[in-house]
Amino acid sequence: MSWSWRLKVIVFYTIISVVMTSFFVLFCIPVQFIGAPYSWRYKMSEIFSYIFIYLIWVICGIKFETEGVDKLPQDAKPYIALANHQSFWENFFMQLIIPKHSWVVKQELLDIPIFGRCLKTVRPIAVDRSNSRSVVQIIKEGERKIDDGISIIMFPESTRVSVDKTVSFKVSAAKLALNAKVPIALIAHNAGLVWPKGFWFKQQGTVKVKVIEVMLPEEFANQDARELTLYIQNTINLEKNKLAELGV
């Protein structure tokens, strides 16, 4: 890794740290103090995500191109978006293409200084992966958010996975979709090629994101959770492998 590339990464993280700290002081603390409505909280996180993706593009040359975004539901009704998880990049990018939504995240993310406090303002579904009742929590809280008109984003792998590896998907997403009777959007990307698990970006390039399909509730109503999960797993993995071969 060249020194010029390292310098770009350092500059990016320096700027984004200043932006995040400013958000925390100017917005996150006040909205928690006054009990601002969810729409305000969400708008703040949305603005930060746009800033993050813009800066990583301008400073580090990590761009993106999308395919099939027009397939996503356009009627403002909530749905569940499922994608493979390779990087921290997609956590921010999803906010650019998915309308008002909530995330299912690891509980430990809330313990990260500043970032965790900011994340708490949008009330994600934070689960302890070691707790056997985490699926029950996801379904219960997920249905409540869907009833409030909020879509859900989940990474069924439950952790970041290297581009060249595959793991079994968790059944919680399928169970939530079956219970809530909402559409499922299947999404694949190759962000791990430019930003694998860890602090440093690997290279600059263009992340490719594809909305594969949107499954309507009536299309999977007669499937059980494991059968539906296997279909989701095979569909996303097939497409993510194709995107990995295309490179950046």
State CA 156 to chain mean position distance: 11
Q: What is the pLDDT of residue 1?
A: 61
Encode pLDDT of 175-193 as tens digits: 999 999 999 999 999 999 9
Sequence-ordered alpha helix ranges (H) in 74-182 = 89-97, 115-120, 134-147, 172-180
Is pLDDT of 139 > 90?
yes
* DSSP, res 174: H
Is pLDDT of 108 > 90?
no
Chosen CATH of 63-246 out of 3.40.50.2000, 3.40.1130.10, 3.40.50.1100, 2.40.110.10? 3.40.1130.10
Q: Which of helix, strand or coil describes residue 150? A: coil
* DSSP, res 25: I
Is pLDDT of 76 > 90?
no
Average pLDDT of span 184-210: 93
